[in-house]
């Protein structure tokens, strides 16, 4: 059985002639079995998990909303001897999302010159009805403005920030609700460090990719050392 990430899950367990026996739901893991419900009582501390009875004989386990970790083997067990069981193998369908630059290359760390344009696109592999991609920086939402444009598409969202300043440095995130997210680090440079990075990379577009980390660290350390000596 397959279910989409973030949706509501219901697993049916129809038991005829239950009499005085008890129905339990369990989840089997690699190294342990987790008890979820006993009768109509939830045993798990997870508030997303519960059970309901649907007349005349259906003991329904529900999980809402479904998370990535909910995939696995679920067992409905009746306390007979030997126990009667019904097993369901659950797969969670989760969209992959990535942040890419204007050339379509995946971004983990990105360096920009002051005054240049930050241009990032967040893409998802599977579109679910009602899914919305949201941008943030350092755990704060990014809201569209004349300087920061958000351009949503059917399976992507483009973020364009004009006239980048050092205040635009930070950890940028793209998420689908609270179920899937990805982040990229953006650094806006100026002064001696900016000029040196541009000279080393020959980048005329205002940005460099993450393979320049060693160069940047060396340059930052040299600037810091020079300031300490000056003091």
Q: Give pTM, 2 decimals.
A: 0.61
Query: Which band of pLDDT confidence, cut at 50, 70 and 90, is reported for residue 114?
Result: very high
Containing structural domain, residue 44: 2-93
* Pairing relationship of beta strands 2-4 and 84-93 according to DSSP bridges: parallel
Pairwise CA distance, residues 195 & 208, whole Å: 12
CB of 74 closer than 8 Å to CB of 62? no
Q: Indicate whether 123 and 86 sit together in one domain.
A: no
Q: Indicate whether 119 and 35 sit together in one domain.
A: no
Query: Which band of pLDDT confidence, cut at 50, 70 and 90, is reported for residue 178?
Result: low
Strand positions, DSSP E, 5-71: 9-11, 23-28, 33-38, 41-42, 49-54, 58-63
Query: What is the four-CA torsion angle of 96, 99, 101, 103, rounded to 10 degrees?
Result: 0
Pairwise CA distance, residues 189 & 217, whole Å: 13
Which residues, including other chains, have CB under 8 Å from residue 228's CB and lie 6 or more apart? none
Which CATH number belongs to the domain containing residue 161 in this structure? 2.60.40.10
Q: Indicate whether 105 and 218 sit together in one domain.
A: yes
Query: Which band of pLDDT confidence, cut at 50, 70 and 90, is reported for residue 191?
Result: low
């Amino acid at each position: 059985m397959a279910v989409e990430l973030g949706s509501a899950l219901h697993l049916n367990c129809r038991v005829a002639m239950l009499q005085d026996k008890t129905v339990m739901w369990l989840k089997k893991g690699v190294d342990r079995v987790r008890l979820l419900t006993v009768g109509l009582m939830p045993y798990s501390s997870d508030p997303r998990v519960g059970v309901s009875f649907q007349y005349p004989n259906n003991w329904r386990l529900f999980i809402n909303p479904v998370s990535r970790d909910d995939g696995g083997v679920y067992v409905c067990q009746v306390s007979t001897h030997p126990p009667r069981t019904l097993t369901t193998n659950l797969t969670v369908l989760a969209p992959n999302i990535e942040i890419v630059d204007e050339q379509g290359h995946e971004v983990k760390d990105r360096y920009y010159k002051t005054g240049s344009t930050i241009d990032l696109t967040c893409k998802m592999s599977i579109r679910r009805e009602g899914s919305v991609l949201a941008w943030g920086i350092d755990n704060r939402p990014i809201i569209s403005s004349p300087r920061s444009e958000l351009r949503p598409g059917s399976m992507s969202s483009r973020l364009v920030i004009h006239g980048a300043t050092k205040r635009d440095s930070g950890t940028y995130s793209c998420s689908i609700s609270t179920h899937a997210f990805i982040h990229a680090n953006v650094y806006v440079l100026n002064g001696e460090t900016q000029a040196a990075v541009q000279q080393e990379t020959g980048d005329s577009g205002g940005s460099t990719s993450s393979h320049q980390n060693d160069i940047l660290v060396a340059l930052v350390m040299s600037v810091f050392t020079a300031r300490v000596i000056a003091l």
